[in-house]
Chain A
């Protein structure tokens, strides 16, 4: 999982920074950033990419970091490429079985049949059912579960697929959208996406500012 790799590298960088600090030396900016100041809950901040020369390379690196959020189960479960949503950190098919239907489920069994406006802890056992307003699948054209960072980048920039959104629109969506925000507040039994929405939005803004170039892949 991408977030675990990030966490692992952040831990290594943190150890390096601590070692250098103990030796009375200052850690290089990018390493220190990756270890702590430049990373939030396993997601690098834009500062960690500032030393990359060239907009194309910097934008590609920024998007690779952004993709760690978008491909995380908290996001990808409701961005399926085909069929209905998946669920859980292991992204198994949704149970009970549900279909996309009109985008919010089948007639008579809409997403809102079970998912309310907030996460709800079960009253009779541990665990919770996720909720936010409105709880719904992403459009089929925005299904990307299992995509590579390069595929994802091309997909979300394609205005034929993304509902006509510009790069600025994408920045706003990632920075402000309420349902996107749920990815960091998923309720008991689900791991949050790496980082937080502020960092995710800042990364998206930095990527757009660098030209919105995509990683190769």
Chain B
């Protein structure tokens, strides 16, 4: 089916089966490969994007459900929270292999949009669905807290 998806503020036309997961369309059709395939079953968070500003696992999001929605990927992530997270990520040398990082950053920025001063528990709850195979969870938590402090400061 022919669909027009609004991705990172631009209309993108695709012609795919309506049940195709958004992740497939982003990576294979639109070549937006910053969003990663991890598990394909909404268990790891590597494929996290925003749909109308809400974090969403793109591997379980059929594109036919996105008519009129605004999709944001890591390539289009902007704003104070995103800037603060990216700066903190660099400061704490947070990624190891980096594969999960786009999902981690999308979720971290979403958390800070809602709660700029999160506790460790808030961070753990928000990021519980973003798995890091290098287990850099301690650095991730530190970086999120530091990003929040930047926003508050």
Residues of A within 8 A of B (CB): 95-99, 101, 106-110, 112-114, 116-118, 120-125, 127, 129
Contacts and interface: CB of A to CB of B under 8 A. Distances in A.
Contact of B61 (A95, A96, A101, A120): A120
B41 A129 contact: yes
B96 interface: no
A112 B56 contact: yes
A113 B57 CA distance: 6
B111 A116 contact: no
Given A98-B129, A123-B24, A114 B54 contact: no
A28 B129 CA distance: 55
Interface in B85-133: 107-108, 110-111, 114-115, 118, 122, 125-129, 131
B34 interface: no
A107 B115 contact: yes
Interface residues of B, number: 33
A192 B74 CA distance: 38
Given A106-B122, A113-B56, A129-B41, A123 B21 contact: yes
B41 A96 contact: no
A127 B54 contact: no
Contacts of A121: 19
Given A108-B127, A123-B59, A96 B122 contact: no
5 contacts: A106-B125, A109-B107, A109-B126, A114-B57, A129-B41
A129 B90 CA distance: 35
Nearest to A120: B60
B54 A112 contact: yes
Given A109-B126, A123-B20, A129-B42, 17 more contacts: A96-B45, A97-B129, A98-B128, A99-B125, A107-B110, A107-B114, A107-B115, A108-B107, A108-B110, A108-B115, A108-B126, A114-B42, A116-B62, A118-B65, A127-B41, A129-B41, A129-B60
A107 B126 contact: yes
A110 B115 CA distance: 13
B55 A116 contact: no
A118 B63 CA distance: 12
B152 to A, nearest CB: 16
Nearest to B107: A108
Contacts of A96: 43, 45, 128-129, 131
Contacts of A101: 125
Contact of A107 (B42, B45, B111): B111
B61 A109 contact: no
Interface string B6-47: 000000000000011100100000000000000011110100
